Amino acid sequence: MSILTVDVVAPGWEPVRDAFVQGFELGEDHGAGVSIYHRGQCVVDLMGGWRNRDHTEPYSPDSLQVVFSTTKGITSIAVAMCVERGLLNYDEKVATYWPEFAAKGKQDVTVAQLLSHRAGLYTVEGDITLEEALHWETITSRLADTAPFFPVDTTHGYHALTFGWLAGELVRRVTGMSLGAFVRAHIVEPLGVEFHIGLPEELEPRVARLMAHPIPKFPPDVAKVMMERSGPGTRGAAALGLNGAFGPGAFNLPAVHQAEIPGANGIGNARSLARIYSATVTTVDGVRLLGDGVRDRARTSNTPQGELDSVLIDETDFGMGFMVHSPYTEYSGPSSFGHNGAGGSVAFAEVRRELAFAYVMNTMMTVADGDPRRNRLTAAASLCADSV
């Protein structure tokens, strides 16, 4: 039986299929999907594998997948749409839209600084439970009452979970809609895609359960660096787990799926993510989400060259919420913008090629550098785009 449950590949894009299948042959993937739009048209839509380790439940065409921080890219598109409509301004102070945010020395933080992880709010002050973190008013009030953990705009530090609540509250303040509702009304429905930030309870049975490869035994020097980045007591641990509120297995919980965590709990599929990103660089069946001006501002780096991420201890590079082309996120070249997700997922667009790419998976990998599945697929996509 073929490993593929969906197999749509336009002529000239077959190397992407080969790279996708290779992930299964190497035992790296159990269930996954990859999709590509080129010049506004879907040229690759692949799904395959299994939803469980026992290989009894196929990763079917209606499977939905948690994509972790790949969600941040969709949240950033929503914010950019508000900027384009004159509801937000990247250069304005956050407190202009959210007065309570001005507490504890944050009165001058700009929207741009917030979106590019320069506000020092990578976690909250004090203890917090998972139940509290899943309650929108509680978590946003806690963030508004938290003092920056590093001086604003002196560096950047990845706001792994808090980014979504911070950006989402801005959208809520200027539109009256939650971030999930805004995405549904202004992105998902116009494009006819399926992507949820706040999953309807009745869709829970379609969500593929996350699993993980065994953590490899890294050389001592590499293991030391990884512990310095995210071991107990580090900024990375505080940011990625919100002071311990999100423990192992949290993102398999229905309550986490149903909450709005716009930095981490988006649930959808690759074809939807690729179609959304395509509509930021060209018109897709009559829908264009962003004009060139705001999009290009949003994908312009707001990270000083060579500045190390003070949370991830790596060379990340951020625009207005998007990860932009850098050694850490090469994507398909200098005009690329998007966002990676924990364990391997990614979605991005590249302006020059009018290329949009998405990869999602249920099997998370712990790697010291780039995910090999993601790297093979993006390389194949770039080569094919240049040859057709």
Over pLDDT 70: what percentage of the chain? 99
DSSP string of 153-207, one letter each residue: TSS----TTHHHHHHHHHHHHHHSS-HHHHHIIIIIHHHT--EESS--GGGGGGB
CATH 3.30.750.24 fits 63-377, yes or no: no
Is 230's pLDDT higher than 90? no
**Given pLDDT bands bounded at 50, 70 and 90, which one contains residue 224?**
confident
> What is the pLDDT, as a whole number, of residue 53?
84
**Given pLDDT bands bounded at 50, 70 and 90, which one contains residue 337?**
very high
pTM comes to 0.97
Is 369's pLDDT higher than 60? yes
- Which two structure tokens, joined as six digits, stand for 203? 């869709």
Q: Is 344 left (phi over 0), alpha (psi -120 to 50) or beta?
A: left
> What is the pLDDT, as a whole number, of residue 368?
64
Determine the Cα–Cα distance for residues 145 and 34; give it in Å rounded to an integer: 41
CA angle 297, 87, 169 (to 5 degrees): 95
What pLDDT, in 10s, does the model give residues 39-80? 999 999 999 999 988 888 999 999 999 999 999 999 999 999
Determine the Cα–Cα distance for residues 386 and 110; give it in Å rounded to an integer: 39
**Given pLDDT bands bounded at 50, 70 and 90, which one contains residue 388?**
confident
Is 33's pLDDT higher than 60? yes
Over pLDDT 90: what percentage of the chain? 89
Q: What residue segments make up the domains of the chain, in order of their start? A: 63-377
**Given pLDDT bands bounded at 50, 70 and 90, which one contains residue 214?**
confident
Query: Residue 41 corresponds to which amino acid?
Result: Q
Determine the Cα–Cα distance for residues 270 and 192; give it in Å rounded to an integer: 14
**Given pLDDT bands bounded at 50, 70 and 90, which one contains residue 316?**
very high
A 10 A CB-CB count for 45 gives 21
- Average confidence (pLDDT) over 334-361: 97
